[in-house]
Structures are given as C-alpha cells and as structure tokens.
Amino acid sequence: MHITSRLPNVGTTIFTIMSGLANQHSAINLGQGFPDYQMSEALINKVNEVMRKGWNQYVPMQGYMPLRESIAEKVDFLYGANVSPNTQVTITPGGTYAIYTALTTILQPGDEVIVFEPAYDSYIPNIEINGAVPVLISLKFPDYKIDWEDVRKKISPKTKAIIINSPHNPTGSVLSEKDMDELRSVVRNTNIFIVSDEVYEHLIYDNIPHQSILRYPDLLERSFVCFSFGKTYNCTGWKLGYCISSSELMVEFRKVHQFNCFSCHTPSQVALADFLKNKNEYLSLAGIMQKKRDYFFRLMKQTKFDLLPSHGSYFVCARYSRISNEGDKDFAIRITKEYGIASIPVSAFYKSGTDNNVLRFCFCKKNETLDAAVERLAIIL
C-alpha cells in the first residue's frame, strides 16, 4: 500500500530518539522533560477513591463541570480573569493536543503562522499538517528574547496566528509585561489569533510574575491558552490539560475536539476538581523547582559547560564550546554513549537546524540523580 505522507519532512521526535539512546546505554536521562520522583500521594489516593466510587464512565465532551469550575476559580485568583466554565474552558488530553486542536480550528491552507525558534517540536508539524506555513523568527541568542521589530516585519496579510510560549521550552526564557504590550500593539486592529502555550505557568522563578494571556481581556478575545496538569502535578504521563478561549472561539474549538477525542479520562478529572482547590499544591511548585535549578547551577560549576540563564520551565541550556566544536546532535549522542548522560541538542528545536553548540538539560530530578549526572559531566574535558 502506498501512502502520501501528511508530514513528509518529519521523522521520529528528538525526545524519542534521546530517551531510546539513554535506555540503550543505561544513561542518566536529563533529556526528555519529566520528574524522576513520585507525584503527590494524596492525588494518587484521590483518583483511586473516585474510581472505586464509580467515576469510570464518560464525562461531558467539554470536561467534567466541577473541574472546569475549579479552573475558572483558579484563573480568577491567579490572573484576575473572568472566564465562564461553561463556555470558555475545555478539558483536553494534554497541552500538546490543546495546541494542535487550536491550530486545526483556525488554520486554512496557505495561512501563515509566526513561530519563534527554538520552538517546542510539535508546533511546526501541527501547522504543516493543516496546509499552513510556519514563518520562523529566531529568538535572539543567547538570552532568547523576542525582537518585536522582526515580528512587525514578518506580519503579512496571510498571518493567521502567532504562537507564544512562556515559560519557554527549551530555553527557560520568560515573557515580560513589556513583551505583552508589544504583542498587544502588534495584533491590535488585525485578525491575528494567538495560541499561547502556558504549560509551565507554575514553573517560573526569581519572583517573576507569569504573564498569562488571561491577564489581558483584549488578548483573550483572540487567543487559545493551553495548559497541562502533567507539569503542575508532576504527572506528565497523565496527559491531561485544558484550553481557555473566548466563548465564540471555543464553539469552533469544541467542534474539532468532539470528533477527535470527545471526552477525557474521567477519574483524573473528578479527582482534580477537588485537588485544584488546594492552592498551596500549585503555589509551592515554583519554590521547589527553583531550588532544583539552583542546585544544578551550583553543581555544574565543576564542569566545563557554561549554563545560560533559565527563569522558568524544567530546563536550562548549556554551551559546551570550552569542550568541543562538534555539532550539538553529534555531541549529545557521543556523551550519551561515552559518558552515560542524555540531553537534548537545541538545534532539534530549529527548522533551519541553527546550531549554537548548546544542549538542553532537564533539572526536575532527584538531587541524587543530579549529583550522579554532574559527576559524569565533570569528567568531559
């Protein structure tokens, strides 16, 4: 049978490749972003409890209503956002799915979408599978900031959407209030949509406030804002998240969602509806993860890697120019095989393949994992 590929330019994701290599070589995996410690015991117990009580059949397509209500309360508390749980919140099987659904909802063949590179690896295939065209803008190396003049130059009559992601994967850069002002001025009086990937909303450090789209009612009107419970509750394998949008946009989003997934895993939604009310669970996360970031930064001083700043996410980028001038993919593969440390080469997040000789390390690991990893990194000379 012959199949004409919908994604002819796509191979296997870098996460799959590097995690596979890590397993094959019994390497310590600081590549793919996931905690190597247990999630909340209380939340595990809650899911078990609701399953036993019988919460095992479909919930409504939009999501379990008490969970949507808890989300609406939460975003009011955090961002002063007034959103209707009925018409503006939809539960999705993860953040990646929410982004895909948002793009599929708005894109027509030939539309252009502005993407900042390095970019999380699903964005460009999500655009291309819809027949649309990614318009790439590089974040300024090495602090990975947006050059808004560049954005103004790349806007065309075909621009349908801009994708933003803060805190940013893979670089840990975050958008400031000034960036949000620039974004507002760029889209004002246009029909440009925004897809905002905010899965790391609670993983933001150094007392920087998260600039959610939800703080800006004028932006929310044109936005799909995507979140993930996996990041907030240390359960990336749960693949549960949500999208918030305007009521008008959400009608169309749900048309796509209802024939793709229909409804998401019931017991986790019922458990989370209650669990979300415990503010300390999500408010304490930044402090915990900031300690891990700082611990990793201190340890890495023993190595010849030069870490770039990271103000959010699970990740930090590191230059290795004092060690080698190999391309980042070759270097990442070599140190996995020879030293037993898996990372992610940042060029994998550039369609152009831009290679600044930088690796991404994930620091949401037990201290002993970080200790053991840095012991290995320290002997790479």
Among 22, 27, 29, 33, interactor with ligand GLN by CB under 6 A:
33
Quote the DSSP letter at residue 318: E
Identify which of residues 30 and 335 has a Cβ nearer to ligand GLN in the complex: 30
User: Quick one: which segment of 52-60, 91-99, 174-182, 274-282 binds ligand PMP (CB under 6 A)?
Assistant: 91-99
User: What residue is closest to ligand PMP based on CB?
Assistant: 94
Please tell me whether residue 118 binds ligand GLN under the rule CB under 6 A.
no
- List Cβ neighbours of 110 (8 Å cut-off, separation of 6 or more): 131, 132, 133, 158
Residue 96 binds ligand PMP (CB under 6 A):
yes
- Residue in the block written with tokens 């290995």: 376
| Interface with ligand PMP, residue 165, by CB under 6 A | yes
Q: Does residue 118 bind ligand PMP (CB under 6 A)?
A: no
In this chain, which of 35, 63, 172, 241 binds ligand PMP, going by CB under 6 A? 241
112-117, strands of its sheet edge to edge:
89-92, 241-245, 223-228, 193-197, 159-165, 112-117, 133-138
Q: Are 245 and 68 in contact (CB under 8 A)?
A: no
Q: Which residues pair with 360 in a beta bridge?
A: 317, 344
The distance of closest approach from Cβ of residue 231 to ligand PMP in the complex, given in angstroms and rounded to an integer, is: 7
Site residues for ligand PMP, window 252-311 (CB under 6 A)?
Answer: none
Tell me, by CB under 6 A, how many residues bind ligand PMP. 14
Residues in binding contact with ligand GLN, number by CB under 6 A = 5
Q: Which residue, 246 or 343, is less far from ligand GLN as judged by CB?
A: 343
Q: Interface with ligand GLN includes 245 (CB under 6 A)?
A: no
Residue 312, interface with ligand GLN (CB under 6 A)?
Answer: no
Nearest distance from C-beta of residue 373 to ligand GLN, angstroms? 16
**Bridge partners of residue 161, in order along the sequence:** 113, 193
Q: What is the token pair recorded at 270?
A: 């019922």
Helix (H, G, I), strand (E, B) or coil at 191: coil
Name which position in 28, 29, 30, 32 contacts ligand GLN (CB under 6 A). 32
95 sits near ligand PMP (criterion: CB under 6 A): yes
Contacts of 301 (CB under 8 A, 6+ apart): none
For residues 13 and 369, which CB has a smaller minimum distance to ligand GLN in the complex?
A: 13
Q: What are the backbone dihedrals phi and psi of residue 326, each rounded to the nearest 5 degrees, phi first?
A: -65, 155
DSSP 345: E
Q: Contact with ligand PMP (CB under 6 A): which of 67, 199, 272, 373?
A: 199
* Distance from chain centroid for Cα 52: 33
95 binds, among ligand PMP, ligand GLN, none (CB under 5 to 8 A by kind): ligand PMP
197 binds ligand PMP (CB under 6 A): yes
295 binds, among ligand PMP, ligand GLN, none (CB under 5 to 8 A by kind): none
Binds ligand PMP (CB under 6 A): choice among 64, 79, 116, 120: 120
Among 29, 105, 169, 171, binds ligand GLN (CB under 6 A): 169
Alpha-carbon gap, residue 371 to 351, rounded angstroms: 33
List helix spans (H) across the chain: 14-24, 41-53, 65-79, 95-106, 123-128, 148-154, 177-187, 217-220, 229-232, 247-258, 266-275, 279-283, 285-300, 328-339, 367-377
DSSP for 101-170? HHHHHH--TT-EEEEEES--TTHHHHHHTTT-EEEEEEPBTTTTB--HHHHHHH--TTEEEEEEESSPTT
Please, which residues bridge with residue 328 across strands?
none
Binding site for ligand PMP (CB under 6 A): 33, 94-96, 120, 165, 169, 197, 199, 228, 230, 236, 239, 241
Binding site for ligand GLN (CB under 6 A): 13, 15, 32-33, 169
